[in-house]
Amino acid sequence: MSKFASGLAEELYDASLDGGESASLGTSDGFGWRALFIMDGWGAIICENSQGFVNISEYESEEEAEAEWSELEKAFERYETLALVDSLDTSGCDELFLIIDTARHHIDALPSYEEIENHISSHRECYDRNGWALEV
């Protein structure tokens, strides 16, 4: 059994090894690694998952592929922010807990990285526990 969903998926994956993609994001762990390919009048996105399988989605136009890529970028940003939020130590800092809790449970969103960074930078006790997050 091949790790590629199709011959085209394998061809584009090989091209990505030489930087032939238009854009890429992620890693094969967790969210998955994805690469965007824009060709003359059409596009494709390949995705490698944590088991190494490579799938492909083809789009009839460049605009359709770029619109889907834009949604993937938003999803990846949310995934990364959620991973950061889940790893922060909010013990002993009610304000940081409130920033995260309010965003996550009351408006079904995540705080921005900038909001977290500003809080951690200006509160010494939070910086001592979470300063590593500013280096990510």
* Tens-place pLDDT, residues 85-130: 778 888 878 888 887 777 666 655 677 778 888 888 888 888 888 8
pLDDT of residue 78: 81
- pTM here? 0.75
CB 45, CB 56: distance < 8 Å: yes
Alpha-helix runs per DSSP H in 17-112: 62-87, 94-101
* Tens-place pLDDT, residues 13-58: 999 999 999 999 998 888 899 999 999 999 999 999 989 999 999 9
Given a cut of 90, whether residue 81 has pLDDT beyond it is: no
Give the tokens for residue 22. 């238009």
Residues 6+ apart with CB under 8 A from 50: 28, 29, 30, 32
